Amino acid sequence: MVFSSITFLYYFLVLLLLVYFIVPKNYRNFVLLIFSLLFYFLGEPKYILVLILSGVLNYYFGKLVTGRNKKLFLVLACFYNIFQLLVFKYTNFFIDNINNLFHLNISFLNIVMPIGISFFTFQGLGYVIDVYKGVHEPSDNLLYFMTYLCLFPQLVAGPIVRYSDVASSLYKRDTSYNEIAEGVGRFVIGLAKKVLLANVLGEVIASLVDVNVLSSWLNPILFTLQIYFDFSGYSDMAIGLGLVFGFKFPENFNYPLISSSITDFWRRWHISLSSWFRDYVYIPLGGNRVSKLKWIRNIFIVWFLTGFWHGASWNFILWGLYFGVILVIEKMFLGKYLEKTKVIKYFYSLLVIIIGFLIFNSNSISDVIIELKNMFFISDIPFTSKETIYYLKSNLVLFILAIVAATPLVKNVICRLKKTRVSIVLDILEPVIYIALLTLCTAFLIDASFNPFLYFRF
């Protein structure tokens, strides 16, 4: 089940809200846990026990890493979580590479990756490590801990929520009308990003089959916009639902496509993942407080793991290492020159980001090379075609709306207007706009044939 579906919006969510706000407050965590497990079961019935086992074991690992032999239990917790991820997500990738390297014919295993395993595994592992380090006390209530780990808004595609972010809310939370209203608005904005922008951009990309220089540029540019609206839209919906139920999840995106450098981009894109690798991998390795060679080693370890986390394919590893190289270059000398420019740094960042997502979305490294040749006039292909020009003209309004929506322009204008007398009008119009957007999204979903969440595969 996905958030952008009629089943979720008008059946699952409506029923959950009715039950949640009717039952006494002491039972609300139980309601959330049951509905979260149901949400996961409806989407991935085969692996519901993997999720439950992950929650139970990490709960008890959290208790064991505070007593005797705590280092041993920390190692066991790390082994369990990493092994679980490797088995379900990477087994067939390893088999494929062993076959290619040694010319063998080992059969692939019939393993399907559980949805969201990358997210709930990192949350469980991060929880145990934080307890071991004394960041917070271990949970003393299995039901509450399971509610945290299985909480359906962020279960399958993030953001990666730390236990310390929501611990107090698990035990006591009072949701005000303003918070509920803010959460509903945030959810609708995220839904609109997904349905009205990401889905439509995806359909346009699927139509751009003619090979020429212009289409070779349009494809990665549109995919960059698509994956941004897809993933940030999901994060907005998760954060909005969290607010409705009394939880404040961390922000996961901060207009990354207006970044002035790649260092800046990774402070704005998938923030919860970047901070997870920083706190649990980069800093424990020594961060930048070591020799230059070890510091470069640390960066490449982090970015190899970041790429590998995204998928069992060499293009994801290449994608991570690509950004690792760029970040080293920026930190060593390029960054100080970029800071002195006013416009170039933004075009530089966009170019690097677009090429990065070309790598991300490719099926193989050879496809990456072919696409780069097509983009930079190395291949013997025409500059454009009538078909490409037609799609460009037909979707020009969509492209402009997507570009504007990827910047804080609209948000800044609204914030300024709210400081004037027009704020009263905006307060009246705001719920009307949300209702209109929800109605429009519903109409699109009823007629939709293309509605995947791209990050569900990670």
Residues recognised as catalytic: 310
Q: Are residues 373 and 379 in contact, defined by beta-carbon separation less than 8 angstroms?
A: yes
Q: What DSSP state is assigned to residue 106?
A: P
Q: Report CA 280 to chain centroid distance, whole Å.
A: 18
Q: Rounded to whole angstroms, how far apart are CA atoms 380 and 350?
A: 26
List all residues 6 or more positions away from 39 whose beta carbon is below 8 Å from its beta carbon. 1, 12, 152, 155
Q: Rounded to whole angstroms, how far apart are CA atoms 38 and 284?
A: 37
> Can you read off the two tokens belonging to residue 9?
């919006």
Burial class of residue 79 (count of CB atoms within 10 Å of its CB; 0-12, 13-18, 19+): exposed
Task: Give the gyration radius of the chain's Cα atoms.
Answer: 23
Backbone angles phi, psi at 41, to 5 degrees: -60, -40
Q: Are residues 207 and 281 in contact, defined by beta-carbon separation less than 8 angstroms?
A: no
Q: Are residues 69 and 149 in contact, defined by beta-carbon separation less than 8 angstroms?
A: no
